[in-house]
Amino acid sequence: MTSPEMTTRTKAPMTQMLEGLGRRLARLDRVILAIALLALAVWLLAPADVAQRSLIFTLESALGILPFLLVSALAAGWLSAAGADKAIGRAFQGHPAMIILSAALFGGLSPFCSCGVIPIIAALLAAGVPLPAVMAFWLASPIMDPEMFIITAGGIGLPFAVAKTVAAIGIGALGGFATQALLSAGAFADPLKAMAGCGGCRPAISAERPHWTFWREPARRGVFQERFTWTMGFLGKWLLLAFALESLMVEYLPAEMVSGWLGSDSALAVPLAVLFGIPAYMNGYAAVPLVAGLMQSGMAAGPALAFMAAGAVTSIPAAVAVYALVRFRVFAWYLALGTGGSALAGYLYGFVL
């Protein structure tokens, strides 16, 4: 018979091993873990020819986008090292209408990701910048940035990248002016949640001019290297996951179904694209190859634009940034502006084409 002491001694190493494995898995990057699990699932479950085509498709797509990825990372590093974020204060000065337009323009062209924009927004609100201008910046910023423009141009095409930039600025401006109208009518009198010193957010507003020749200063060269490395890793892993998913989509998603539901002939194409964009959004960069694959399967350009814009505005980082700082009615208004503006952008782009 096995004594309780022996059972405890034999079980303890196994328990410790499982706990250690759990801790190591928790420390793994979730995107890299998803790539590994997806590759394992394809290898175990898919036919051998499908697994081979998926691998070839993923590698060829990654090599094809690599030049655009390098340019994107170089641009991100340069903007960060130059201190371009310090120029944000000049975008929020002047007449209210000009402030909204400047905020939308700056949001659509600024190099801030959904997470990086949170301390900037907190600093703007703490500095007393009017809510309409903040809303314009908030809506435009997640949809487009310089890196996103380069990746979109390489993955889908330059006309679509330009249209997405125009949509980002337009949605931001529309949201800003709509918020201004409601504010003038007495709405959103107390839009902010109680903030205790902005939670440790670093104020990002400054009149300092960017130092474009950053390589002359060792500290700025360090910032460039850090930002370049981070951008290559961040975008690279998301794009690799997206290409792997796209390879499976090409194999298993019928083109007839995509064109029937999301093609230009469907009256519900744009609303469905907005509806699908909300839960389907993973990451703006990963969405590029996925949307490119959908468009090759029959998705029209208008719904594609609506899908990407709605997904960006309602993504978890962007939405959390809003929800953490403002009251629920302002958060709900943000979502309504984002989804409604995305649908309008999709309709207008489809009409222009």
332: number of CA atoms within 13 Å, CB side? 4
Residue 95's pLDDT is 79
User: 196 in a domain, yes or no?
Assistant: no
Residue position matching structure tokens 């402030």: 99
Q: Which two tokens stand for residue 105?
A: 């323009």
In which residue are the tokens 């350009």 written?
301
Measured between alpha carbons, how far is 276 from 274 in angstroms, rounded to an integer?
A: 5
Structure pTM?
Answer: 0.67
What 3-state class would DSSP assign to 159?
helix
- Residue 97 falls within a domain, yes or no? yes
What is the number of domains present in the chain? 1
Q: Give dist(CA 125, CA 121) in Å, integer.
A: 6
How far apart CA 91 and CA 124 sit, in angstroms, is 11
Look at residue 180 and tell me if it is in a domain: yes
Q: If you ran DSSP here, which 8-state letter would residue 257 be given?
A: H
Phi-psi label, residue 199: left if phi above 0, alpha if psi -120 to 50, beta otherwise: left
The boundaries of the domain holding residue 242 are 51-184+222-352
CB atoms within 10 A of CB 54: 23
Q: Please tell me the distance from the alpha carbon of residue 344 to that of residue 109, in angstroms, as a whole number.
A: 20
Query: In tens digits, what is the pLDDT along the chain, a chain of 353 residues?
Result: 455 554 445 455 656 655 565 566 556 677 888 889 999 999 999 898 989 998 998 898 888 878 877 887 887 788 778 877 555 556 566 778 888 998 899 888 876 655 556 556 666 666 667 889 989 988 998 888 888 898 899 889 999 999 999 999 999 999 999 999 998 888 887 777 764 334 444 444 555 677 888 899 999 999 899 989 987 887 788 778 878 887 887 777 665 666 667 766 677 888 888 887 765 545 566 678 878 887 887 888 899 999 889 888 876 656 766 776 788 898 899 999 999 999 999 999 988 87
Residue 36 included in any domain:
no
213 domain residue, yes or no: no
Is 20 among the domain residues? Answer: no
